[in-house]
Structure 1
Amino acid sequence: MAQARRATSDKPRRVLVTRFSALGDVAMTLPVVYGACRANPGVAFIFATRRHMAKMFVNPPANLTVFAFDPADYEGLTGLKRLYDHLSSKFDFDAVADFHSVLRTRVIDWYARRDGLKVVSLDKSRSHRRALTRRHNKVLVPLRPMLERYADVITALGLHAPGPFVSLFPPEGAPAERYAILSEPKRRGERWVAVAPFAKYSGKIYPAGLMEKALRMIVEDNPDVRVFLLGAGASEEAQLDKWGATIERTTSLAGNGGGLAAELALLSHVDAVVAMDSANMHLAALVGAPTVSIWGATHPYCGFSAFGADEANAVQLAIECRPCSIFGNKTCRRGDYLCLAGISPRTVADRVNSLLRANPPKK
């Protein structure tokens, strides 16, 4: 059994940050975590998350350690107790920043409080979420952004507010060798557009037929553009390979084996991204890539807009049933997903063209 211990001062020196999933949610925490590390250089931060998330922590601050684990190794209450004991003995943390606030992290919180440690949990404002997404009498008011809620956890621990964050990479982007498995370096006069047309739930996915039309418009409107298609899994790979084979200057990166780190490196050089309300939207934000986001069942008002997102680049329809879900996982009550099917491909293409006009190619 871990020996009970108490924090020795009001300001913690070693903070355990917990956020186990999902990919996009973990990505959203990085600007706050990196900013907190730089604003509190005398504090050690330990970020505990799933193993496959660790590769997105590129160029981390010196006082950040990522503890990556497989949840299957720590199942149930006894497993979580073992996880807590392991983290405690390895890092001797004196405070917990719970960025997840779910049952698993609450178990960790309970053991930390038992040991006299300061614990601050994320406020998800669940009642306001229900009011925003209910079918009738919606309260259509923006919820406090998740990025600000994560920062609240840091300051509630008695630490300095997170400092500024711009990108995981320097202004010139990642070195070419970081993404060499995906592409050769950008040619002079060439511009890159990355398109990530998928999401976990149907309520977030722009219909494939409309997306294909938007892709063809982007390519036809911009003869200097090369398009990269991002996705994972067999069904996504099949669709993206088809588009890559039939749309000029378009390359599918699905199934290439490059991995998350290589994708981030490539994204640091793109001139525009098209993404759903999905993990790729947040990954693009981590490298400062200008992004056109497409919203369906969800809504920026839910608080999950990407770091640094420009509201003008959120493509969405103002229909009375939106938002019907925080995560996009509910079946469409109308049965037609008009929130997505009603968005014109030309609207998407024009928004991308606007970003490209603002970033002319280097001659």
Structure 2
Amino acid sequence: MGDVAMTVPVLLALTDKYPDVKITFLTKPFFAPIISKIPNVSVFTADVKGAHKGPLGLWKLFKQLREMDVDAVADLHNVLRSNILKIFFGLYGIPVEQMDKGRKEKRKLISGKIKELHSLTPMYLRYRSVFERHGFEFSVHKAHVLGKHRITTDFGTSFIPKGKKLIGIAPFAAFSGKIYPLALMETLISELAALKDVKILLFGGGQKERTVLEDWDQKFAGCTSIAGKLPFKAELALISNLEVMISMDSGNGHLAAMYGVPVITLWGVTHPAAGFAPFGQSVENQIVSNRDEFPLIPTSVYGNKFPPGYDQVMKTISPEQIVKRVRQILIID
């Protein structure tokens, strides 16, 4: 999900510079609402668990795409499926350019041998370079974000009381090494809920996550769990109207960033130097775990690997640090 969201500023910049270029964005059905508001971009959904499953399914997918008279392909994912499609397009002379994932420099970054970290190429620039190799020259600026969605009355009044500043919190991630300790998160929510004229919206996915979020919903006034209550498109509308999002190194931060929402990212065993910081965010919005205490950070690019003891890294981030940054963004004395 985060990978799809990170393409949005690049696509907006591209279509802004080249309004006559027609783009077909290939993705899974669930992610279609992320792309649907971009001018001159249509979405084609792949059924990778059904009609487009396996090599034969990908061949069927390729034939459907070829019927669109595709002139060139920009592979922004560079995974097994897209590499198979690359072969198919190549058989018919259709040029394909692929994203350079920077695997070599990322391996060096997570080797544990680097005392002073230097930032790698941000993901949005890696995406842009794919289009540049196709001959499209353009710049990507902070202004290349989507606008706020209009909140419709059928659910808006339930979650957005008038006069309140909306704080989004997405406290979960795919791997435990990227999740802020729940006890500290509860303290954070308690302190934020005490701020004047704020409303906290909690975002999450799985059933286990929903249980935790519902507990906090019941425990703290002015705090509402969104998990499982709205279709994805409606969740995006809410996210677009946030004043600030507090996220782990996860997809929700990138969703908020594509709307220009300030995103405070809490980093555990991963680090923004790998290039995955949400688009357009300041250094001050990157709250990282203490590398003096845990010098092997980042232990992995995606947070799935870390040595013994490194499950404690995020305890070095205090709730007070986060509240201070929220106050600065919301301009609360």
Class of the TM-score when normalised by the shorter of the 2 chains: over 0.9
1:345 to 303, 312, 319: 319
2: CA distance between counterparts of 1:231 and 1:184?
15
Are 1:228 and 2:212 an aligned pair? no
Q: Which residue of the partner structure matches residue 225 of structure 2?
A: 252
* TM-score, scaled relative to structure 2: 0.93
Are 1:216 and 2:193 an aligned pair? no
Aligned positions, number: 328
* TM-score, scaled relative to structure 1: 0.86
Listed as ranges, the matches of 1:46-125 within 5 Å are 46-61=24-39, 63-72=40-49, 73-89=51-67, 91-125=68-102
Query: What is the Cα-based RMSD across aligned positions, in Å?
Result: 1.9
Listed as ranges, the matches of 1:168-317 within 5 Å are 168-169=146-147, 173-177=148-152, 180=155, 183=158, 185-188=160-163, 190-220=164-194, 222-256=195-229, 258-317=230-289
1:266 is paired with a residue of what secondary structure? helix
Deviation readout 1:323-351 (Å, 9 max, x if unpaired): 01101111x31334232122111111111
* Residues 59, 202 of structure 1: alpha-carbon distance in 2 compared, 3 angstrom cutoff: same
2: CA distance between counterparts of 1:323 and 1:192?
31
- Per-residue deviation, 1:179: 7.5
2:103 to 113, 122, 126: 126
* Residues 343, 67 of structure 1: alpha-carbon distance in 2 compared, 3 angstrom cutoff: same
Are 1:156 and 2:156 an aligned pair? no
Deviation readout 1:161-194 (Å, 9 max, x if unpaired): 255544322xxx3222088267354413x21111
* Residues 213, 176 of structure 1: alpha-carbon distance in 2 compared, 3 angstrom cutoff: same
1:180 is paired with a residue of what secondary structure? helix
Does the 8 Å contact 2:177/2:269 carry over to 1? yes
Does the 8 Å contact 1:197/1:230 carry over to 2? yes
Which stretch of structure 1 is more off in the superposition, 310-319 or 143-152?
Answer: 310-319
Q: Which amino acid aligns with 1:85?
A: K
- Per-residue deviation, 1:137: 4.7
Identity %: 35
Does the 8 Å contact 2:46/2:61 carry over to 1? no
2:17 to 35, 39, 49: 39
1: CA distance between counterparts of 2:240 and 2:32?
18
Deviation readout 1:239-293 (Å, 9 max, x if unpaired): 000001011211111110x122212211222211110010000000011111111
